[in-house]
Amino acid sequence: MKILAIETSCDETAAAIVEDGRKILSNVVYSQIEEHKKFGGVVPEIASRRHSENILEVVKKALSEADCTLDGIDAFAVTYAPGLIGALLVGVSFAKGLALSLKKPLIPVHHIAGHIASNYLVPDSDGIIPEPPFLCLAASGGHSHIIEVLEYTKFRIIGRTHDDAAGEAFDKAARVLGFPYPGGVHIDKAALTGNPEAYSLPRPKIQGSRYDFSFSGLKTAVINIVHNAEQKGEEINKNDMAASFQSAVAEILTDKTISAAKEYGYSKIALAGGVSANSGVRKLFGQECRKNGFRLYMPPLSLCGDNAAMIGCQAYYDFLSGKRADESLNAFASLSLEDLA
Ligand code: KG4
Ligand code: ZN
């Protein structure tokens, strides 16, 4: 079964064709980052306008790279939540038009479920693809969740952030260090040659679930150190600060996810979302999972960020479970994974 999937929840206009939830026939991502960079973050109205201008070309490219025509597509899928509402609506309206005019099924996909599904697309070094149940850390620019993936289409969130998402904290810390948006990848690069013990940064204490996150204190600590140094006319070693910050985030994410896996009895852990591309996070998870006897799955770097292949993969499982949308499909800026019909 060939699914043409569309993803426009933030600043990537993406389309992909995925066969049977496994085989990526094409995966086209048009990034708008260069344009949003000037503003230090994504400008929602610009994002919607660029999606609107580019979506047809991106879909055509996905078809031609897969050597496929619309006749060869069995169903259409689209990210309908969560994300920037105007951006989501472009993809939803476009996919609806395709599905209705061609009289083919339309499958609405949750963005975070898509990120989790990026783990099903490429086998690990032992040739294994994870199957639920497993525990997943989904950490992106908008979310930091520890999720029980009970079935392909059934999720329970056992940890969430009380303030900033992990990716957001990376981007804000990067900004104060003078790196361009989005800063996560720049922190990652700078950290490679920095000393992670150079700056002592706080580990948050949180009321509520042991598996909830808080990153705002850590971010504020970085901002305060940088500003204090500036006032005293002292230099901050950017690489050392990047390494110290990254190792704090990696430690928090890893500790909580591993503790949750132990308490809830999972032996398989998966990572998902933009922050799962971080080399420090990947390395620490690798070490801790080995030490504790957990099997770790991580999407390849090319599938960590937003893309439509992950949406096409999740759509396959949603389709098998009977999920369909009609012409009344709407987009939602926020919708919990636990509330999926
Ligand atoms: O999943 P994603 O592409 O979009 C959302 O759904 O939000 O995640 C984007 C986030 C950004 O905050 C970006 O800085 C972060 O993921 N990110 C990274 C790295 N690559 C992307 N953070 C740390 N290290 C990286 N290598
Ligand atoms: Zn995302």
Q: Is residue 170 part of a domain?
A: yes
The pLDDT, as a whole number, for residue 137 is 98
Instruction: Indicate whether 225 and 142 sit together in one domain.
Output: yes
pLDDT tens readout for residues 95-111: 999 999 999 999 999 99
| Whole-angstrom distance, CA of residue 109 vs CA of residue 130 | 20
Q: Do residues 273 and 163 both lie within one domain?
A: yes
- Residue 299: which of 280, 258, 271, 275 has the closest Cα? 271
Whether the predicted pLDDT of 190 surpasses 90: yes
Do 136 and 265 share a domain, yes or no? yes
Q: Which of 135, 83, 143 is nearest to 332 (CA)?
A: 83
Residues 165 and 280 in one domain: yes
Look at residue 163 and tell me whether its pLDDT is greater than 90.
Answer: yes
166 CA closest ligand 1 atom index: 12
137 and 250 share one domain: yes
277 lines ligand 1 (CB under 6 A): yes
- Domain annotation covers residue 33: yes
Q: What is the domain-level CATH number for residue 275? A: 3.30.420.40
* Domain extent at residue 191: 130-298
Give the closest residue (by CA) to ligand 1 atom 3.
305
98 with 54, same domain?
yes
Task: Please check whether residues 74 and 168 belong to one and the same domain.
Answer: no
167 and 271 inside one domain: yes
Q: Do 309 and 287 have their domain in common?
A: no
pLDDT of residue 341: 67
* Nearest ligand 1 atom, CA 143: 7
Residue 123 is assigned to a structural domain of this protein: no
- Helix then strand then coil, in percent of the chain rounded to 5, is 45, 20, 35
Average pLDDT of the chain, as a whole number: 96
**Per-residue pLDDT reduced to its tens digit, 109-161:** 999 999 999 999 999 989 999 999 999 999 999 999 999 999 999 999 999 99
Give the CA dihedral 139, 143, 148, 149, nearest 10 degrees.
Answer: -80
pTM for this prediction: 0.97
Same-domain pairing of 175 and 32? no
- Per-residue pLDDT of 53-84, as tens digits, reads 999 999 999 999 999 999 999 999 999 999 99
Give the chain's domain count.
2
pLDDT digits 0-9 by tens, 207-252: 778 999 999 999 999 999 999 999 999 999 999 999 999 999 999 9
Which residues place a Cβ less than 5 A from the ion ligand 2? 140, 306
Q: Is 122 contained in some domain?
A: no
